[in-house]
Amino acid sequence: MCRKQRIVFLMTIILLSIWSRPLSAHAAKAFDTAEVDEFVTSYLERNGLSGATIVVVKDGNIVYEKGYGHDSKGEAVTESHS
């Protein structure tokens, strides 16, 4: 009986250690602002839009913000443009 208890105890420890680890061991891909810029610029051109402001948020924090193009008055759009 003692041997069975040890095996159950060891199995429990092993399972708990597996469940406590993140499911993915891969590092997150680095955030590439050039890809975002290219996508937004292309989107504006394809849809005939004069400008836009974007904000990228991760885990509740702003990681990137930028204005593209111009507004209806011809002024450059910035992150803080309203």
Q: Tens digits of per-residue pLDDT, 32-81?
A: 889 889 999 999 899 988 988 888 888 888 888 888 988 888 888 877 75
Q: Tell me which residue range forms the domain holding 23.
A: 2-69
Name the pairing type of β-strands 61-69 and 51-58. antiparallel
Q: Is pLDDT of 13 > 80?
A: no
Task: Specify if 80 maps to a domain.
Answer: no
Task: Specify if 31 maps to a domain.
Answer: yes
Q: Token pair for residue 65?
A: 């913000």
The total number of structural domains in the chain stands at 1
Task: Specify if 16 maps to a domain.
Answer: yes
Task: Specify if 82 maps to a domain.
Answer: no
Task: Specify if 54 maps to a domain.
Answer: yes
Tokens 């406590």 — which residue?
20
Q: Is pLDDT of 82 > 60?
A: no
Note the pLDDT of residue 61.
86
Task: Specify if 79 maps to a domain.
Answer: no
